[in-house]
Amino acid sequence: MDIRALVCRSIIVLLISFSGIAWSELVIRVTKGNDSPTKIAISPIVNVGNLPRFDISRLVENDLQRSGLFVATPREDMLSFPSMLKDVYFRDWRLLGTDYLVIGKMSSKGPNKIEIEFSLLSVASQKVIFRHKVSGSAAQLRDLGHLISDKVYNAITGIRGIFSTRVAYITAIREVDGMIYRLHVSDVDGAREKLMLRSHEPIMSPSWSPDAQKLAYVSFETGRPAIYTQNLATAAREQITNFAGLNGAPAWSPDGTTLALVLSKDGNPEIYLMDLQSKQLNRLTQHFSIDTEPTWMPDGKNLLFTSDRGGEPQIYKLNIATKAIERLTFEGNYNARGSLAPDGRTLAMVHRKTGAFHIAAFDLQTRRIRELTTTSLDESPSVAPNGAMLMYAMKQEERGMLAAVSLDAGVRYILPARSGDVREPAWSPFIR
């Protein structure tokens, strides 16, 4: 596949590979977990007072199990449901093979304010690892549950939790009046999906602002590709570009002031920067080949991008100040669609060495490539903000769906829609 096919590949996927009937929220099925998962028990959090009935403990249990690193003690096997330390009999939990125990209670702290006090205990050492409180309104109970999951996950693994993050993705459904394309945002577990845009024309390339307050994306609603930004809270939209030819692949700078994007208004697709306040453009590349898919380095001084200037799609690095360009990938005849981990060292990308397209991790220091997936036609990787997982699009039984894999390939799960197809995931930054 040459680079020109690469530029239109996402469009083709959207136009011909989406099928299906009604779309509903994503579901998650873990297909590969850690070989030695940590055994954890989430005792039902006690509801003190007349508070909304919501099973916070079950949400936390589901979060941790979906990570693939934990296995939860079944509630029906628990010998007691303690909410305070004085009620914990560590011997009982050792008999169940439990490594850690979470206990807590939920109480009212004023009009529409709920506080959850919870603790993480080590069963082996019979000690309290931490005590913590979270608070919010009744409408924020899911958020509070995800915060508890994040805190527990971080304490045990040493890695920041991503249960409070969100994901943007695109679906397409064939309806009576033709194909309908939708841009959605949901919790990372697929719940609380929110429709951001509905169109009869394709929508592509969602990209999160660094404060997780806005999305940039490409829409064909005017009859040709144009880049828009949209505020997630107010749904207010702004059209950023409407040049002749290609307007694509928006990517926010780390400080949120600039978009890297691809324009073909002057001939071949090239990499540009746009100042979002002044709308002034700065052209970064100038080559007879096609340059596309920019992604920012954490320092905000360099970009990675895809180009066929070497004869086949490969990843290059560009210094914004000097416009010096360095080729990074050489292994395989196709390396594209890079998504950089927050550490600035690991690049997830679409990689082809023989016949199939897989997701691979490329170490920018050692220049080594590790294939992470084994399915075919894998595309659109998006790395989680903690650098531990990535999400991507795949095909299974002729159906498009999302999947996730850990950067060490030890954990995998899939996120099909309950019906229909879904594509182009974009994992949000941490929610502030």
- pLDDT band, residue 418 (cuts 50/70/90): low
- Sign for the pseudo-dihedral over CA of 4, 5, 11, 12: positive
- Residue owning tokens 């931490």: 130
- Cβ atoms of residues 357 and 334 within 8 Å: yes
Among 59, 8, 383, residue whose Cα is nearest residue 204:
8
Per residue in 213-231, pLDDT tens?
999 999 999 999 999 999 9
- Which one has a higher pLDDT value, 120 or 49? 120
- Cβ atoms of residues 294 and 303 within 8 Å: yes
DSSP for 330-376, please give it.
Answer: -SSSEEEEEEE-TTSSEEEEEEESSSS-EEEEEETTT--EEE---SS
Q: Phi then psi for 36, rounded to 5 degrees?
A: -130, 75
- pLDDT band, residue 428 (cuts 50/70/90): very high
- pLDDT band, residue 279 (cuts 50/70/90): very high
Separation CA 124–CA 387 (nearest Å): 30
What is the rounded average pLDDT of the residues 138-161? 96
| Strand ranges across the sheet with 399-406 | 29-32, 412-415, 399-406, 389-396, 379-383
Per residue in 68-83, pLDDT tens?
899 999 999 999 999 9
Return the pLDDT at 337.
96
Angle at 391 between CA 387 and CA 393, to 5 degrees: 155
Return the pLDDT at 400.
82
Within the chain, all domains assigned CATH 3.40.50.10070 are found at 36-157
Is pLDDT above 80 for 142? yes
Query: Which of 160-164, 178-182, 387-391 is predicted with the least confidence, judged by mean pLDDT?
Result: 178-182
Among 335, 251, 328, 247, residue whose Cα is nearest residue 296:
251
The 8-class DSSP code of residue 22 comes to: -
Provide the whole-model pTM.
0.89
- Residue owning tokens 């208004």: 265
Half-sphere exposure of 104 (CA within 13 A, CB side): 29
Please classify residue 255 by burial: count the beta carbons closer than 10 Å to its beta carbon, then call 0-12 exposed, 13-18 middle and 19+ buried: exposed
* Superfamily, domain 36-157: TolB, N-terminal domain (3.40.50.10070)
For the chain, give the percent of residues with pLDDT over 90: 75
Return the pLDDT at 84.
93
- pLDDT band, residue 35 (cuts 50/70/90): confident
Mean pLDDT for all residues in the chain: 90
What is the rounded average pLDDT of the residues 257-279? 96
The residues, any chain, with a CB within 8 Å of residue 129's CB and separated by 6 or more, are 100, 119, 120, 121, 122, 155
What is the rounded average pLDDT of the residues 279-283? 96
Is pLDDT above 50 for 12? no
Is pLDDT above 60 for 10? no
Separation CA 145–CA 163 (nearest Å): 9
What is the rounded average pLDDT of the residues 341-347? 94
Return the pLDDT at 26.
72
Is pLDDT above 60 for 173? yes
Please classify residue 405 by burial: count the beta carbons closer than 10 Å to its beta carbon, then call 0-12 exposed, 13-18 middle and 19+ buried: buried
- For 3-26+163-427, CATH number? 2.120.10.30
What is the rounded average pLDDT of the residues 9-22? 36
Q: Phi then psi for 63, rounded to 5 degrees?
A: -55, -55
Return the pLDDT at 97.
95
- pLDDT band, residue 24 (cuts 50/70/90): very low
- pLDDT band, residue 419 (cuts 50/70/90): low
Within the chain, all domains assigned CATH 2.120.10.30 are found at 3-26+163-427
Separation CA 6–CA 381 (nearest Å): 15
Angle at 155 between CA 154 and CA 161, to 5 degrees: 10
Is pLDDT above 60 for 23? no
Return the pLDDT at 210.
97
- pLDDT band, residue 55 (cuts 50/70/90): very high
Per residue in 57-113, pLDDT tens?
999 999 999 888 999 999 999 999 999 999 999 999 999 999 999 999 999 888 889
Return the pLDDT at 420.
62
